[in-house]
Amino acid sequence: MNEQDFLAGYDPRDYPAVAVTVDVVALTIREGALHLLLIRRAAPPYAGHWALPGGFVRPDEDLLAGARRELAEETGLGGERLGRVHLEQLGTYGDPDRDPRMRVVSIAHLAFAPDLPDPVADTDAADAIWLPVTALPNRQLAFDHARIIDDGLERARAKLEYTPLATRFLAPEFTVTELRAVYETVWGEPLHAGNFHRKVLSVPGFVESTGASTERGGARGGPRAKLYRPGTARLLHPALLRTLR
């Protein structure tokens, strides 16, 4: 029996309700460290615990639109800056016991954002912050959010390999060194500056030159760097593969 055959002679209100929510694993880079957007729960269950921003999907709202709305509400940001945030579906979490009160199926999303202002806590949240992922309070995370975050971080690391999405963590114009810093931060390992530089410029469509350079050299010396903007490629080939695994 497929879904529609089932629904044809079926009134959903006769059955236990299933709630559908969207959650967002929003990542950004602040001060050289990977940060995750978390809110602190005000009400039980898990009152006082950290949780992902998210909420109920509205009746006529697409899932991706719902995630974008939740992100906007939680960060207090408008359309312009939010437009540069990459958002994709991460996965759906529907374990029957993931919420103690009722069946909740949550479609988790993954966001890559440039450096954004501090979030403004929503009325129902006790707090909202960008937290370094190295300081995640794994034992104090609500529901199955620790696992969702793990999955999101691994997806983010993998995405940098074969997509140009690392640029979404940066301003519209950036240097190769800034791009390399994104990779080093997300992957958590140092990369060879020279090889990275040559590699990035050799992948078709990854970045394109603006013709301009930075106003000043590095903070501790060095020449001015050329500026680039994201290219037109949506996939990198050859990819930038992590070593080992």
Non-local (6+) Cβ contacts of 36 within 8 A are 25, 26, 27, 130, 131, 132, 133, 136, 149
- Let me know: does 166 contact 160? Beta carbons within 8 Å: yes
226 binds, among its own copies, DNA, none (CB under 5 to 8 A by kind): DNA
Helix (H) or strand (E) holding 154: helix 145-162
Pick 100 or 218: Cβ nearer DNA:
218
Query: What binding mask, one character per residue, do residues 170-209 give for DNA by CB under 7 A, x or -?
Result: -----xxx--------------xxxx-xxx-xx-------
Choosing from 13, 139, 216, 245, the residue that interacts with DNA (CB under 7 A) is 216
Q: Which two tokens stand for residue 148?
A: 């969702």
Is 15 strand, coil or helix? coil
Nearest approach in angstroms of CB 177 to its own copies is 28
| Tokens found for residue 55 | 């909420």
Q: Which of 144, 105, 123, 134 is closest to 32 using CA atoms?
A: 134
From residue 210, how far is each of 36, 58, 205, 226, 243 by CA, in Å? Answer: 31, 42, 13, 8, 31
Least distance CB 138 / DNA (angstroms):
30
Minimum distance, C-beta of residue 177 to DNA, in the bound complex (Å):
3
Cβ atoms of 71 and 24 within 8 Å: the answer is yes
| Site of tokens 């013709």 | 211
Enumerate residues 61-120 that contact its own copies by CB under 8 A.
Answer: 61-63, 73, 89, 91-92, 94-96, 99, 101-107
Report the candidate in 111, 152, 128, 132 with the shortest Cα–Cα distance to residue 50.
128
Q: Binding residue for DNA (CB under 7 A) from 89, 171, 222, 234?
A: 222
16 touches its own copies by CB under 8 A:
yes
- Looking at the Cβ atoms of 89 and 140, the one nearer to its own copies is 89
| Residue showing tokens 């998210």 | 54
Number of residues that bind DNA (CB under 7 A): 29
Contact between 37 and its own copies per CB under 8 A: no
Interface contacts to its own copies, rule CB under 8 A: 1-8, 10, 12-13, 15-21, 23, 39, 41-46, 51-57, 59-63, 73, 89, 91-92, 94-96, 99, 101-107, 122-125, 142-143, 235, 237, 245
Interface contacts to DNA, rule CB under 7 A: 175-177, 192-195, 197-199, 201-202, 213, 216-226, 238-241, 243
